[in-house]
Amino acid sequence: MSERRFALVDCNNFYASCERVFDPRLIGVPVVVLSNNDGCVIARSAEAKALGIKMAAPFFQIERFCQRNGVRVFSSNYTLYGDMSRRVMRVLADWAPAMEVYSIDEAFLDISRIAEDRLHQELAALRTRVHMWTGIPVSIGVGRTKTLAKVANDLAKRGGGVSVMLPEDEERALQDMPVGDVWGIGRRLTAALEPLGITTAGQLRAADTRQLRQRFNVVVERTVMELRGIDCLLLEDVTPARKTLMVSRSFGDKVTLLSDIEASITTHAGRAAEKLRVGRQIAEHLEVFMHTSPFDTTTKPYTARATIAFEHATADTRLITSTALSLVRRLFKRGYRYAKSGILLLGLSEAMKATPTLFSPIDDRRSSALMAAMDLLNNNYGSGTIGFASAHTGKAWRLRMDRRSQSYTTQWEELAKTAS
């Protein structure tokens, strides 16, 4: 069996780079992009990093610093970033036989079939192509496993833009790498590994997997195997369907009134239902949560949350909204200063291509009938037939609806015989 090889393509300082594509005057200038509500830093250009601006730094703490140092500051624009991401991914998909879009700015490519001596040259060409066609600079790292490709990508970012790590290079690359830089080893694990004498990626690779599994979990064990070149994480060529969906926001100012929470939850519910329908999914459960600020040291953090099951899985805006609001009213407690609210939809599954058929005895005011039909189809996707019977005349109609893209075509048809 031939050796497997993965490439990780990672966009450099992605959000900051996106802003630059649309304003070249930003090139060479420190740029940062802020989270929602301009809360904290979520992207930094190389110049901003060089100034010492940290990832996730609260903006209010560095605002003056940014002014003094000529840092250009942007609120995030996810529509733009999403669009740029699709452009980059399209270029990669054109090139690679198999690829996994891992995040908005990263993709793994299966490059097992490219000859070793051509790898560097081919990937350098790909890098140039992405930059030329999208304006986004990327780094590419190659390794035997995804985890090793991540390591190689780190090296690529430090210079050259492309780093091909062959098995004989691994030892040296891992030797000096802090263990916390390994993909899958976060802050907690780094702290927990330290007393075991594991502070570098090389030491983690040499560690006893059985012991690590016992002490931690299988995820850590897999990471160690991956560092050794045994691929445990396969390329997920087909993006799996989303399993949960969350919409949440922090409040600009702390909220103490039920009516304010209700308003925010109503907005969240609407957005969540819309996202569900775009993905043609329905949800089984709904969770609502609201919590106080974790940064407020004067009071103990408080979270109110509750989950409820729908009678039938749904994507119905009104049902989701009313259910969420009933939970909010149950959960809300006076006296707390809420910092954030949100809803989480769980147990998502693919919406059936429903062909709802409904006969209901309503009068022959067609407009209200049409509204009901639209609702029904909206919530069930697909096309369908709805029958109406007039209580006054005894006649019956059939309304057929065909939903293509976003428009409906409707067809009224008077049935020859009266409905039974």
Catalytic residues: 106
d(CA 372, CA 356): 12
* Closest CA relative to residue 9, chosen from 132, 99, 82: 99
Place of tokens 């569900």: 276
d(CA 313, CA 326): 18
CB nearer to DNA: give 267 or 383: 267
Backbone angles phi, psi at 182, to 5 degrees: -75, 140
User: How many residues of this chain interact with DNA, rule: CB under 7 A?
Assistant: 48
Q: Kindly state the smallest distance separating residue 213's Cβ from DNA, in Å.
A: 7
User: From residue 407, how far is each of 278, 366, 379, 382, 402 by CA, in Å?
Assistant: 14, 19, 15, 12, 8
- DSSP helix/strand/coil, 347: coil
d(CA 206, CA 307): 44
69 makes contact with DNA (CB under 7 A): no
49 makes contact with DNA (CB under 7 A): no
d(CA 144, CA 166): 8
List Cβ neighbours of 252 (8 Å cut-off, separation of 6 or more): 37
209 makes contact with DNA (CB under 7 A): no
257 makes contact with DNA (CB under 7 A): no
333 makes contact with DNA (CB under 7 A): no
Q: Which of 3, 50, 60, 418 binds DNA (CB under 7 A)?
A: 60
Q: Which of 30, 141, 202, 342 binds DNA (CB under 7 A)?
A: 342
Stretch that binds DNA, among 67-75, 125-133, 168-176, 237-245 (CB under 7 A): 237-245
218 makes contact with DNA (CB under 7 A): yes
Token pair, residue 178, equals 């802090």
Q: Which of 129, 228, 275, 403 binds DNA (CB under 7 A)?
A: 275
d(CA 306, CA 271): 19
Contact characters 168-207, DNA, x per CB under 7 A: --------------xxxxxxxxx-----------------
CB nearer to DNA: give 188 or 417: 188
DSSP secondary structure letters along 5-61: -EEEEEETTHHHHHHHHH-GGGTTS-EEEE-GGG-BEEEE-HHHHHTTPPTT-BHHH
Q: Which of 86, 172, 242, 333 binds DNA (CB under 7 A)?
A: 242
Amino acid identity of residue 94, one-letter, is D
d(CA 419, CA 397): 9
Q: Which of 130, 235, 288, 339 binds DNA (CB under 7 A)?
A: 339
Burial track 116-153 (b if 16+ CB lie within 10 A, e otherwise): eeebeebbeebbeebbeebbbbbbbbbbbbbbbbbbbb
253 makes contact with DNA (CB under 7 A): yes
65 makes contact with DNA (CB under 7 A): no
243 makes contact with DNA (CB under 7 A): yes
146 makes contact with DNA (CB under 7 A): no
Q: Which of 69, 77, 203, 293 binds DNA (CB under 7 A)?
A: 293
Q: Kindly state the smallest distance separating residue 315's Cβ from DNA, in Å.
A: 14
CB nearer to DNA: give 339 or 399: 339
Q: Which of 21, 29, 42, 80 binds DNA (CB under 7 A)?
A: 42
Q: Kindly state the smallest distance separating residue 391's Cβ from DNA, in Å.
A: 43
Token pair, residue 356, equals 């709802």
Residues 78-137 that bind DNA (CB under 7 A): 102-106
39 makes contact with DNA (CB under 7 A): yes
d(CA 200, CA 218): 20
CB nearer to DNA: give 83 or 413: 83
Partnered with residue 395 across adjacent β-strands are none
CB nearer to DNA: give 223 or 389: 223
277 makes contact with DNA (CB under 7 A): no
Q: What is the CA radius of gyration of the chain?
A: 27
Q: Kindly state the smallest distance separating residue 253's Cβ from DNA, in Å.
A: 7
The binding site for DNA (CB under 7 A) comprises 35-37, 39-40, 42, 56, 58, 60, 102-106, 150, 182-190, 217-219, 240, 242-250, 253-254, 275, 285, 293, 295, 307, 309, 339-340, 342
